[in-house]
Amino acid sequence: MKWLRTLVLFDKDDVIDSLGWATIHESYVRSIASIDYLEGSGTLTLKRKQRVAGGQWQRNGVNYLRARFLNHMITAEGWKAEGVVDLSRDRQQPAIRLYPSKELYREPITSDFGGFDFVTTASDGLRVAIEWETGNISSSHRSMNKLAIALTNGIIDAGVLILPSRALYEHLTDRIGNIGELSGYLAMWENLKAGVTKGLLAITVVEHDALTDGDHPYLPAGNDGRAREGRAKASKA
C-alpha cells in the first residue's frame, strides 16, 4: 500500500518538530507500506470494481486493510496499544443560550464516543491517537470530531486520521470515507486550533499500489452495514 501524503491541519506548540511525532509518523507509514494483497506479494494489488447483474458494482472489502495495519504497528513496529481514551461524559460543556428565554444553559452529554483504533505514547511522552477510517463517510466525520475533542481537552497531543484517496475509494465498499469527500471540511477542522493549547491534527491519505482484472480475488468483505447492503443488492439482481 502507498502512503501518498500527510496533511497537518493544525499544529500548536511545535508538535510537528518533536521527536515523538517524527518517530510515530515514520512508524505508521512503514505499517501502511507493509499492507499487501495477496499477502506476501509485497504490493497491494486490488481487483478493479466490476458491474454485476442488475447494474450493481462488485468491490473490495475493507476490514483486511485495517487489521493488517494495526497488527503491523503492534507486532513489527513494537508499539503498545494503550487502550481506550476516555472522552468523559462529565467534561465541562460550553455555556450556550436558550431561545427565547436567552438564559445560559449547559446541555448534558448523554452519549459515548467510543475508543480510537490505536492509542500509544512515544518515548518523549507524546500521546498519539490514530483512527484508520474505511467506514462510511459519516464515520470519517465522527473520527475527526473525536480527535479534535480529545486534542481540545488535552487528552492527546497528536491525532491522526488515515483514509483512502479518491482513486482507492472507487474500488472499495460503496460510500466509505475518502479525502475527496472530506476536502471541503478541512478549513473547519483547521479553525479548531484556537481551542487547543498543545496538539497536532493530521490526515494521512493512502492508496493501492496497482489494479488488476482477471482471476485476482477481491479483498474479503466484512459484516459492516455497507458490506451487508451491497451483498443483499447483488443477491437480488
* Cell of residue 65, nine digits: 486493510
Residue that is written with C-alpha cell 443560550 in the block = 97
Q: Is 194 exposed, middle or buried (0-12, 13-18, 19+ CB in 10 A)?
A: exposed
* Cell of residue 74, nine digits: 503492534
State the pLDDT at residue 230: 46
Q: Residue length, the chain?
A: 237
State the pLDDT at residue 209: 98
Q: What's the CA gap between 88 and 211, in Å, rounded?
A: 43
Q: What's the CA gap between 15 and 154, in Å, rounded?
A: 13
State the pLDDT at residue 83: 75
Q: Where in the chain are the domains? A: 2-236
State the pLDDT at residue 175: 81
State the pLDDT at residue 148: 94
CATH code for residues 2-236: 3.40.91.20
Q: How many CB atoms lie within 10 A of CB 103?
A: 10
State the pLDDT at residue 226: 43
Q: How many helices (H) and strands (E) does the chain have?
A: 7, 11
Global confidence as pTM: 0.89
State the pLDDT at residue 237: 40
Sequential pLDDT tens for the chain (237 residues): 999 999 999 999 999 999 999 999 999 999 999 999 999 999 999 999 998 877 888 999 999 999 999 999 999 999 998 877 777 656 778 899 999 999 999 998 887 777 899 999 999 999 999 999 887 889 999 999 999 999 998 999 999 999 999 999 999 987 889 999 999 999 999 999 999 999 999 999 999 999 999 899 999 986 544 444 444 444 444
End-to-end CA distance of the chain: 33
For residue 5, the cross-strand partners are: 205
Q: Which of 77, 107, 133, 190 is catalytic?
A: 133
- Asked if residue 49 lies in contact with residue 58, where contact means CB atoms within 8 angstroms, the answer is yes
State the pLDDT at residue 110: 84
**133 catalytic per annotation:** yes
